[in-house]
Amino acid sequence: MNRHDLIIEPLVTEKSTTLRESHNQYCFVVAPSTNRAEIKKAVQETLKVKVDKVRIVNVAGKVKRLNRFIGKRSDWKKALVTLKKGEKLTIFEG
């Protein structure tokens, strides 16, 4: 798998914005088969920043219901990437 395919998209929510401003942590939706080392290399190479640590969360899809039909959203993986002191990503800035 190509390093550019590991990071699917940046995750911009109220919680991720708070983490970015207070702890210099950035959230990404990543491919379900990746691990910490692969994510760290992919972020460092594609975004040209130095990564301090990576935390991973497997997010379970919610069960949704439409009238009598029940379905489930797909599971996904979230990566919380902490950058080294002094590093910043400009893709999250307005």
DSSP E strand boundaries for the chain: 7-10, 25-30, 51-59, 63-66, 69-72, 76-83
Instruction: Please report, as a single letter, which amino acid is at residue 61.
Output: G
Parse the chain into domains and list their residue ranges.
3-83
pLDDT band at 94 (very low <50, low <70, confident <90, very high): low
Residue 10, pLDDT above cutoff 80: yes
Record: fold of 3-83: Alpha-Beta Plaits (3.30.70)
Q: CA 57, 63, 20 angle in degrees (round to 5)?
A: 30
pLDDT of 12 > 90? The answer is yes
pTM exceeding 0.75: yes
Output the six-digit token pair for 70. Answer: 């029940």
Average pLDDT for residues 2-31, to the nearest whole number?
Answer: 93
pLDDT tens digits along 35-93: 999 999 999 999 999 999 999 999 999 999 999 999 999 999 999 999 999 999 888 77
Residue whose C-alpha is closest to residue 24's, from 70, 91, 80, 94: 80
Looking at residue 23, what is its pLDDT?
94
DSSP annotation of 28 = E
